[in-house]
């Protein structure tokens, strides 16, 4: 059976049942369960420190009104971070390489930030569509451009996350295939490609963390615009 490079991005299934829900919920099992005691072990301490650090970074650009979103944004950040990192392991599936899943995460949250602004301050939210001091002949064109840029925000969030992770996985597969193929004929070149593969893997770990952070950070900035 010949497999293409893009077969790794197809959703796995068992007896015709998609297993993407299992791959999405499995990272939550890796988190240690909370206890009534203040400190249980080193793993729980590290977990609390990471959650506290992520929450501080995400809440810095927000006003006090936006701190109500701390639980949602922090949970989304940890969810994306674990899925992206687990997807780098061999013989695993990365749900965030699916554009449909990323759009399903981006669109409702973007819509929630937009509706929050329209409910709390409708005039200020609508004023973003027309910059102050715009010449009268340019008003229809600018309103159309700003409305388009506003509506494509969730699409940009989903495409950015999907494209970066997909490109990284494809590069890793291409270089690993070249390393195995050259091992029998040109071992020196194979060692060089193996070194490149190791460096690329480190880079992809950084990309997986950065993309999860950028996804949630942009959502928090969209929220700040509407508060």
Averaged pLDDT score across all residues of the chain: 80
User: Do 152 and 138 contact (CB within 8 A), yes or no?
Assistant: no
Residue 10 confidence (pLDDT): 64
Residue 74 confidence (pLDDT): 86
CA 132 to chain centre: 34
Q: Taking phi first (over 0 means left), then psi (-120 to 50 degrees means alpha), and beta for anything else, what does residue 16 get?
A: left
Q: How many residues does the chain have?
A: 227
User: Do 157 and 110 contact (CB within 8 A), yes or no?
Assistant: yes
**DSSP state string for 92-136:** ---GGG-HHHHHHHHHHHHHHHHHHHHHH-HHHHHHTTS-TT--G
- Structure tokens belonging to residue 176: 């690993």
Predicted confidence (pLDDT) per residue in 33-59, tens digit? 666 666 667 777 777 888 888 888 888
Residue 2 confidence (pLDDT): 47
- pLDDT category, 78, cuts 50, 70, 90? confident
Question: Residue 17: beta bridge partners?
Answer: 14
């Amino acid at each position: 059976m010949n497999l293409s490079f893009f077969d790794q991005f197809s959703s796995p299934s068992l007896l015709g049942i998609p297993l993407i829900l299992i791959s999405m919920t499995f990272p939550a099992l890796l988190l240690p369960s909370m206890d009534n005691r203040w400190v249980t072990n080193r793993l729980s301490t590290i977990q609390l420190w990471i959650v506290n650090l992520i929450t501080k970074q995400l809440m810095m650009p927000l006003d006090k009104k936006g701190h109500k979103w701390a639980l949602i944004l922090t949970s989304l950040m940890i969810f994306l971070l674990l899925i992206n990192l687990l997807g780098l392991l061999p013989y695993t599936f990365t749900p965030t390489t699916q554009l449909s899943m990323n759009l399903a995460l981006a669109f409702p949250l973007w819509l929630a930030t937009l509706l929050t602004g329209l409910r709390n301050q409708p005039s200020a939210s609508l004023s973003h569509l027309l910059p102050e001091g715009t010449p009268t002949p340019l008003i229809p064109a600018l309103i159309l451009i700003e409305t388009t840029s506003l509506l494509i925000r969730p699409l940009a969030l989903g495409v950015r996350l999907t494209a970066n992770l997909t490109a990284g996985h494809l590069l890793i597969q291409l270089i690993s295939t070249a390393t195995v193929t050259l091992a029998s004929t040109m071992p020196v070149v194979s060692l060089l490609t193996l070194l490149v593969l190791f460096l690329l893997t480190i880079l992809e770990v950084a990309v997986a963390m950065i993309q999860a952070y950028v996804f949630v950070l942009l959502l928090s900035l969209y929220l700040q615009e509407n508060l």
